[in-house]
Structure 1
Amino acid sequence: MSRPNYPSGKDLLSAEAVSQADLGDVLERADRHWIELNLADESAESQFVNVVRRRPKMVATLFDQRSTRTRLGFQVAAGRLGHQSIDVFDPDRSRMGHATGETIEDHIKTVEAYSDLIIVRSHLEDLPYKVARLSYLPIINAGNGSDEHPTQAMIDIYAIYKMRGDLSKLSIALSCDTKARFAVSFVKMLRLWPPQRFTLCCLPGIAINPAVREAMERLHSLGTLVSVVHNVVETLDHDVLSIQMQDMSKFSNASLGYDAVDKEQETEPFTITAKKILEHNSNTLILNPLPRFSELDTSCDSLPNAGYFQQVKLSTPIRMAILERMLSGTPWTG
């Protein structure tokens, strides 16, 4: 039996899939869900503000790579919408990929029979794209090797918007490995809401990831002042700093349950501490997609600048908005 012709825009695999109208729609939906979630926290009576949901959908998570926030975040988002999530990859129980198991093709056809949407997270860059070709269901790329992480990019943009306002009036810095998938998607996504200034803080003498360089050139063409520095203190005059380790290769390629990851120490020019922030009298909002390592010292946690745990809270309405949109059949038009 031949596979159907899948509709254009059914999947969210890259930041390039998202148009300006799409991003605006996601942020508007997220704001509505954020208000509902906060009302629900404040009053038991407010449970009635939520609209009556249709029959619950089934959201399948196919994660062959470690995850805390992304996995829990999508599970919580599905639950908040009145839907359910099922785990369709378990290294100890799933047959997929084992010598005595089944092919990815058969596994995905089986998952289709039980679910309405599939979220894929993998150390293999091609897996979300392969699943998208195999399945008529909408597919979300929740991080694939060192390729992309488009939903994290929307979370980061939403966090900046909620905590600092209009991105077009802001200076935004990014300190990280330019091959990090969250960074690739984030810089690409900024084309939809270009900041006044964008600064990349990275190791000297190492080539910038071509995808990030191209995205920076695109920002420049849109009127953003773009620059590169090699010490994180040079970003402390910015409105926002998103920071992670400068070498994320071992983390992006670690598969679930098998590859241990040692916490290496970040080099001093790329670490942020409360002392540095206070010495520079900086009001820079500090974000981190988490997990953090030695690039972000725990001394920062008590400062008003620390926005990374609020960033986690703001991820729920964004994931709710993305699931709501895709489960309703609304295509991405980027």
Structure 2
Amino acid sequence: MQRPNYPSGKDLLSADAISRFDLDDIFERAERHLREEEQEKAGILPEQPPVYRRRPKVIATLFDQRSTRTRLGFQSAAARLGHQSIDAYDTDRSRLGTSTGESIEDHVHTVELYSDLLVVRSHLEDMPYRVSRLSYLPVINAGNGADEHPSQALIDLFAIRQMRGEIEKLTIALSSDTRARFAISFVKMLRLTPPKRFTLCCLPDVPINPAMREAMTVLAGLGTEIGIVHDVRQTLGHDILSIQMQDMSKFAHASLGNEAVDKEKETEPFTITAQKILEARSDTLILNPLPRFSELDTSCDSLPNAGYFRQVQLSVPMRMAILERMLLGIPWTGQAAAASGSPAAP
């Protein structure tokens, strides 16, 4: 069978895929879904009856890493749009990669016959890119090793926008392993809405990941004031603090099959507690992509600063917006704009 042509911009594999035009469109869609959800909860009927859908679309998830929020988030988003989801790779039952199994090529070509969109999460950094080349369907990278997690970056920016307003007017700090995939996508995507100030809180004797350093250089070129600190207390004067462990290598590269991953204790300068927040009299909004480890103490949960569970809640309308846009066949224009020399950021 001859493979069809792959349309440019069909996939969301990296933060580089997103232009400012795409970001504005995806924010508008997510805000509409959020508004409709809030109206429904308030008992307000929609202005127009829902359009009859001839058949639901099918979202296939290919996850060889265990997942809670990402998997359930995409499944919930699909269900709320009136679509269905299927697990195309169950690590306990799939024959893919086993001695009696099939190749990734045959597996993808089979799954695409059942589906309309593929969501891939893997400990192998090249897996989403391989799937995107093999399939004519749109593909979402839902996290690949220590590479990127672009849908999480969109969620984080949407959460900041909803809870603190226009990102360009804010100061943002990130305390994290600079190799963490969510962090790389987040800082790369900030180029589209460059904040007034960006501060990286990181280990003092560990080299900054080149991809992170490059993203920070881009921000500096757009007028963002850049800083580097080595104690989370120095971030509590910012509007936003996104925090995770300083060494995520064990978690990013683990196969997470039947092997357990021990939770290590974060060192004191990189833990956030209610006491530190109260002592600093800080109103910094605390975000965390979750799961959290010892970097974010549960004592913070009852503070008004805690934004991480609201962040999870806001992930559903954002994922609805991503699925809606991609199922409509609207291409991502970030990489195309970069190739043509057009500005992808304001």
Note the alpha carbon deviations across 1:300-321, whole angstroms, 9 max, x for none.
0000000000000000010000
Amino acid of the structure 2 residue aligned with 1:298: T
Shift of residue 51, structure 1, vs aligned partner: 2.8
**Ranges in structure 1 where 5+ consecutive residues have no aligned partner:** none
| Change over 3 Å in CA distance of 1:262–1:53 after alignment to 2 | farther
2:96 — aligned with what? Answer: 96
Shift of residue 52, structure 1, vs aligned partner: 1.7
1:144 — aligned with what? Answer: 144
Q: Does 1:18 align with 2:18?
A: yes
Amino acid of the structure 1 residue aligned with 2:87: D
1:214 — aligned with what? Answer: 214
Shift of residue 93, structure 1, vs aligned partner: 1.5
Give the Cα–Cα distance (whole angstroms) in 2 for the partners of residues 292 and 104 of structure 1.
32
Aligned residue pairs: how many? 333
Q: Does 1:298 align with 2:298?
A: yes
Aligned ranges 1:183-198 → 2 under 5 Å: 183-198=183-198
Give the Cα–Cα distance (whole angstroms) in 2 for the partners of residues 106 and 333 of structure 1.
30
Aligned ranges 1:1-334 → 2 under 5 Å: 1-43=1-43, 46=45, 51-54=50-53, 55-334=55-334
Give the Cα–Cα distance (whole angstroms) in 1 for the partners of residues 81 and 52 of structure 2.
7
Amino acid of the structure 1 residue aligned with 2:200: L
SS in 1 for 2:177: coil
Q: Percent identity?
A: 72
Amino acid of the structure 2 residue aligned with 1:100: T
Amino acid of the structure 1 residue aligned with 2:45: S
SS in 2 for 1:92: coil
Give the Cα–Cα distance (whole angstroms) in 1 for the partners of residues 179 and 221 of structure 2.
22
Note the alpha carbon deviations across 1:124-158, whole angstroms, 9 max, x for none.
00000000000000000000000000000000000
| TM-score, structure 2 as length reference | 0.95
Note the alpha carbon deviations across 1:10-65, whole angstroms, 9 max, x for none.
0000000000000100000000000011112221x636756325221000000000
Shift of residue 278, structure 1, vs aligned partner: 0.2
Question: Is the Cα contact below 8 Å between 1:273 and 1:297 reproduced in 2?
Answer: yes
SS in 2 for 1:323: helix
SS in 2 for 1:199: strand
Question: Is the Cα contact below 8 Å between 1:176 and 1:202 reproduced in 2?
Answer: yes
Note the alpha carbon deviations across 1:71-91, whole angstroms, 9 max, x for none.
000000000000000000012
Note the alpha carbon deviations across 1:188-223, whole angstroms, 9 max, x for none.
000000000000000001110100100000000000
Amino acid of the structure 2 residue aligned with 1:38: E
| Change over 3 Å in CA distance of 1:322–1:269 after alignment to 2 | same
Give the Cα–Cα distance (whole angstroms) in 2 for the partners of residues 122 and 198 of structure 1.
30
- More displaced, 252-261 or 182-191? 252-261
**Ranges in structure 2 where 5+ consecutive residues have no aligned partner:** 335-346
Give the Cα–Cα distance (whole angstroms) in 2 for the partners of residues 51 and 154 of structure 1.
26
Note the alpha carbon deviations across 1:72-123, whole angstroms, 9 max, x for none.
0000000000000000001222111111010000000110110000000000
Amino acid of the structure 1 residue aligned with 2:154: M
| TM-score, structure 1 as length reference | 0.98
Amino acid of the structure 2 residue aligned with 1:51: P
Question: Is the Cα contact below 8 Å between 1:66 and 1:254 reproduced in 2?
Answer: no
Amino acid of the structure 1 residue aligned with 2:50: V
| Change over 3 Å in CA distance of 1:18–1:26 after alignment to 2 | same
| Change over 3 Å in CA distance of 1:302–1:49 after alignment to 2 | farther
Q: Post-superposition, which runs of at least 4 consecutive aligned residues in structure 1 deviate over 3 A?
A: 47-50
Amino acid of the structure 2 residue aligned with 1:160: I
Q: CA RMSD in A?
A: 1.1
Give the Cα–Cα distance (whole angstroms) in 2 for the partners of residues 273 and 160 of structure 1.
21
Give the Cα–Cα distance (whole angstroms) in 2 for the partners of residues 255 and 210 of structure 1.
24
